[in-house]
Chains A and B, each alone.
Chain A
């Protein structure tokens, strides 16, 4: 199985500042079709996860452009510019390359200072 390793496991951010979350996969997520199958989800407290970024760098519908995704074949970054109170929650990266063995990272908890 592909292992997704996130860092840090928690981050505390001052509102208005930026935050970055890293995710590393144990195997390249670059498909032969040129698409990198890494996704980012946010689970706000007591809520269902929501899709933020798909295929490494594409912003999901309705997601503020303060969020961005980047990376290579195995190393990925979610960046949040100008963190707001509504951004609090647990961020998960996920690999959707190996069907049906999709896997998620352990999650990164974002809190406000």
Chain B
């Protein structure tokens, strides 16, 4: 089983739609969780951390389910500028962050 798994997509959604991505991780001792965003041919950038209680940043909501070992990212009112690849990232302890392969989102006018 891969350490961090994501549906590669693509998710093609119209502007204004709500879209959700899930990610599962294999190591139950994983300590912290993040979503990164990577635009086409650009470097990844931190989008948001994922807290146990769930957290929201504007149109973006991240949630963690430790029992089921999955993380989710919800984007409301999608914008064209949200088109990117979203990377699920896990800190499994005293090792560098482990990145999923990403989920590609295309928001269509």
Partners in one complex: no
> Interface of A with B (CB < 8 Å)?
none
> Interface of B with A (CB < 8 Å)?
none
